[in-house]
Structure 1
């Protein structure tokens, strides 16, 4: 074998051996990158999409060739602060995870996408179905109000929360936060205004209730991703 061929073969072997040595590191870096990308769009506690993830999901719907009407859902647990005050933040987090799992199961069954926006506030994007908005909303309200079974000091503990749910029909191409989510937000506040543990559906011309029946700035309004909510 000539010297050039020997040199080429030696370099090739060295490259292969180097690649084999580096492959585990490359795999680890790839896994870390995948995990970092996942965390950018997901809530770490529930595994649901976060606000950025839901925004991206809406953008995908808007860009789809078959973009059409969608149902936007906003779910806010009622007076969740009392759960943390009574049972502690740890069990409060357990309740949030359980409720998030219930919402995800239903929304997935309906062919939609679920998210946790902040604290005790969830959202979903659903395709328009023949089920009807009221039926979907009632199902969500009932799912949230079903007792969450926990354990405290070795003893069973049932924690019950309720939810106010707002729904709005929107075009997938409508601005997400300024239009679609805003309408569902207004409807949700009407559900709270009329007694909580119920739903309201946005109608054209519906306005946000007066400030005295609202709960003040929320975490997502202040630009904070998660934390304790107060209503």
Structure 2
């Protein structure tokens, strides 16, 4: 391997990055500095911090209502008011959190942004990981409910109960896989190449909606 000009204990030889950059990035210092010259695009909506608070206002109650719907379905059946109320509220809040995150991603997607705008790309990756953070637990709850409901389908005599939670599981797990493949892994690798370190460098954790460092909230321009 070519000499990098910096101490061996600092340089991680397992990283598939440029040997020219003493800082360990895939770009030279001059190339990396050009990112600061790219004007940051303005986006409509709340700031990232406030928007994140709103996301959890939707998401945490949605998870609780999904669990409540699972319990109500087992005791009251799907045609009774308790299940209808909890399942409807869960779907509304889940859809709100999903759409909120998806709209943020669309505003920062590759077909509308300047690829040199690292601020937008960091925010896009954060939102993509957050989308899986919403869908993965939702899918797990849906799968757990489906398994017990399907196993007891003869006693429950409620086709809609296990079928609804099966659909919740399928929708969310397919969304997780597509988002991980199309957005998270791609953007994470690119930012690792250009920045060297970023909050979602461990892709296997990012796919589960988890950051690699405690500080995950991207800075705003």
Where is the helix percentage greater, Structure 1 or Structure 2?
2
Do these two structures clear the TM 0.5 threshold for a shared fold by scoring above it?
Answer: no
Where is the strand percentage greater, Structure 1 or Structure 2?
1
Q: TM-score if structure 2 supplies the norm length?
A: 0.26
